[in-house]
A and B are shown apart, each in its own frame.
Chain A
């Protein structure tokens, strides 16, 4: 059955050229990000490697470009291609960790709300409702801002990564909680759960061992789509200046830094990280969309 299931997914994958292109692009980004220290042409954060003499070089196809720096350099002489690779590393790391945190929180609380019900359910879901009335980015800004206040000033830059993961992760749990609560309500009424209760299995064990494996299907799809959202959220926060510091720039930080030079003609400093961000988000989204359709039995 699982082999059949895999081949079914593979079949729908092969039928969708857009998904294949998107998957290849997403894979390229992931490989480029993970292997950045090995394959990037320069290490933009090694002060010994950068030189102010190379600053503000245009892309290589421009007459004054340099083949050493294919996408040009920024005002400090850092290679844009390399900063993009290192930047996507941080963007992806933040997105994955934030989504993982949302999943753990959302699935846990959703399961609890759905299975225990009653007052626990009401409290958890009302908190979720309240959180949904604010735009996610506003909540992330708020959490990020408060988080920074609690961190000593000299540690702010080194802890920025954790603060931003926490703030994005905390905004994302509601979607998982709602989905999982719904599926839990369905599973809870099925006879195998009653059978476990008759046997005398504890509530906790029923939730974790019986219900949880049966509600994780939709979570996978939401998670894939949310990775793209988390990348955007991180870029937005960094662009607004509450995200990653310029010493460890993510794509959002690069765009934010570069836009200061946009009108003085050095467009490549901000445009290339921007294009990278768009391509990455769109390809992850396309893969998520395809996964949602491929796993939906009604569309097969």
Chain B
């Protein structure tokens, strides 16, 4: 199965993550540790994550709750600093946006914006919508206050199918879908090139989800935006993504073109996720319910983190951790999948 559509990892990718890890210190306070003789404990939210996003492309990250998707979003946007590794956007290391406040840092921050999950929490309840949308413009001093700013705010509200008059209202006067559109207008205000969308539709009704997703697709086409789309809803991902990355316990287990990953999933976890949806290209196939629970990330299983839940587990799985390898037009981290390609007999016995 050859797929020319899988993009090669090139050095000039618009967004590049190289071996990014984020570790949180979740130890008890020092005094308690000393008294109760507890060791320090660390939560590895994201481990050794590398991927690229090309300009104008939508990469979706999927996975269960707690797998580190949102941490990735916060790492890229600069809300967290990565413990190791680097995040590069348009050739510039995101570290400068965190540590300095010079022109380059500000320009970088302007380029990268984020749309949040909860439209009820992401807008300051005491600000008028026009001020919310104008905040990035004022912060980056893109347009001086006055008629030009009002015009720009009206234009931004127009992009998301709201009127200039709506700018006079407060967020609580809008529905969830409208609020999420206000969020999008704010994210667009600084003329960003890269939008990180952290489950932007998970708090919305299904009917409104489609509306917001279509709006995001239209805006991407018109403005040439690059998206990182984080979601646990595979139908939404199928609708919007070009490429899909599947995460499990802070690591990528499979990443590739949407068609490849959804059409012929190689990692057993991807397959389980897809099987759990009743009506997405799955009609007629036998379903494996997602068995078991996500293991405690403080104490992950040895070897492949998925091995306790995996139906295709065999010898090496609890010994060593599989690398992310190119396989059938995408990258997969699974011994069983690699073995199936190299020697088909083993796959049937596994």
A residues touching B (Cβ–Cβ < 8 Å)?
Answer: 1, 190-192, 194-201, 205, 210, 213-214
CA distance A1 to B126 in the complex (A): 12
Instruction: Identify which of A1, A192, A201, A205 gathers the most chain B CB atoms within 10 Å of its CB.
Output: A192
Known: A198-B109, A199-B109. A192 touches B122 (CB 8 A): yes
A-B contact pairs, 23 of them (CB 8 A): A1-B173, A190-B121, A190-B122, A191-B117, A191-B118, A192-B124, A194-B74, A195-B114, A195-B116, A195-B183, A195-B186, A196-B124, A198-B77, A198-B78, A198-B79, A198-B113, A199-B139, A200-B97, A200-B109, A200-B136, A200-B139, A205-B139, A210-B124
Q: In this complex, what residue of B is CB-closest to A194?
A: B79
Q: Flag whether B326 is at the interface (Cβ < 8 A).
A: no
B132 to chain A, nearest CB (A): 8
B152 interfacial by beta-carbon distance below 8 Å = no
Q: How far is the CA of A190 from the CA of B118 in the complex (A)?
A: 9
| New A-B pairs, 13, CB < 8 Å, besides A195-B116, A199-B135, A200-B109 | A191-B117, A191-B118, A191-B121, A192-B122, A192-B124, A194-B122, A195-B114, A196-B135, A198-B79, A198-B109, A199-B109, A200-B136, A213-B126
Q: How far is the CA of A191 from the CA of B114 in the complex (A)?
A: 11
Q: Which residues of A contact B74 (CB under 8 A)?
A: 194
Contact of A199 among B117, B121, B123, B136 (CB under 8 A): B136
| Cβ contacts under 8 Å, A197 to chain B | 79
B125 at the interface (CB under 8 A from A): yes
Given the complex, which residues of A lie within 8 Å of B33, measured CB to CB?
none
Any chain A CB within 8 A of the CB of B140?
yes
Q: B314: CB under 8 A from chain A? A: no
Which residue of chain A has its CB nearest to the CB of B97?
A: A200
Q: What total of chain B residues lie within 8 Å of the partner, measured CB to CB?
A: 30
Q: B18: which A residues are within 8 A, CB to CB?
A: none
Residues from chain A with a CB closer than 8 A to the CB of B172 are 1
Q: Which residues of B contact A194 (CB under 8 A)?
A: 74, 79, 114, 116, 122
The yes or no answer to B226 lying at the interface (CB within 8 A) is no
Contacts of A192 in B (CB 8 A): 121-124
Shortest Cβ distance from B105 into A: residue = A200
Tell me whether B110 is interfacial, beta carbon within 8 Å: yes
A214–B117 Cα gap in the complex (Å)? 20
Q: Write the nearest CB–CB distance from B72 to chain A, whole angstroms.
A: 14
- Complex alpha-carbon distance, A210 and B135, angstroms: 11
- Asked whether A214 lies within 8 Å of B136 as measured between CB atoms, the reply is no
Q: Is the C-beta of B338 less than 8 angstroms from some C-beta in chain A?
A: no
Interface residue B170 (Cβ < 8 Å from any Cβ of A): yes
Report the nearest A residue to B78, measured CB to CB: A198
Contact B124 A200 (CB under 8 A): no
**B-chain residues with CB within 8 Å of residue A205 when the two chains form the complex:** 139
Q: Which residues of B contact A198 (CB under 8 A)?
A: 77-79, 109, 112-114
Is B128's beta carbon under 8 Å from chain A?
no
Whether B139 and A201, one on each chain, are in contact in the complex, defined by CB atoms closer than 8 angstroms, is yes
Q: Which 3 A-B pairs have the closest CB atoms?
A: A191-B122, A200-B109, A191-B116
Mark each residue of chain B from 143 to 160: 1 if its CB lies under 8 Å from any CB of chain A, else 0: 000000000000000000
